[in-house]
Amino acid sequence: MEISDVRRSIRDTIERGRRRAAERRVRTDEAARAFGRFLDDIAVPLFKQIANVLKIEGYPFTVFTPSGGVRLMSDRSADDYVEITLDTSGDVPRVMAHVSQGRGRRSIDAERIVGSGDPASVSDEELLAFLAKELEPFVEK
């Protein structure tokens, strides 16, 4: 094989990699802006409403807003929570929920995509339906 062919192939690979990385950065930046709006306009207010309803019903939960996410955590156990964040580790950024549930000495953790996963299109109805399903194990105790 000619060195010129090898060199051309490797240069093409490098260029494709650079283009993909630049496109990924643009997608991630756009998703981060959309996720910030999603947190401010939909997720945090809904989490606060849910926490208030749970407290009234005898299930004390508190809302925390760490940078880049929102967490609804049980006041009875720090192992019981649902947290919403933006996952940018893949090619397409998506809204993810980390659900942790304490069972005795062990903790059961799961990660799930919220709605369509697109931070610009997850609605308050989708988020409420998702949270209602995920909170069932916490309120059946």
Please give the residue range of the domain that contains residue 92: 3-139
Cα 70 to its chain centre, rounded Å, is 9
79: its two tokens: 């192992």
Residue with structure tokens 């993909």?
20
Looking at the structure of the chain, the number of domains it has is 1
How would DSSP label each residue in 69-116?
A: EEEEEESS-TT-EEEEEEE-SSSS-EEEEEEEEEETTEEEEEEEE-TT
Does pTM surpass 0.75?
yes
Nearest to residue 125, comparing CAs of 115, 112, 117, 113? 115
**Which pLDDT tens digit goes with each residue over 22-74?**
988 998 999 999 999 999 999 999 999 999 999 999 999 999 998 889 999 99
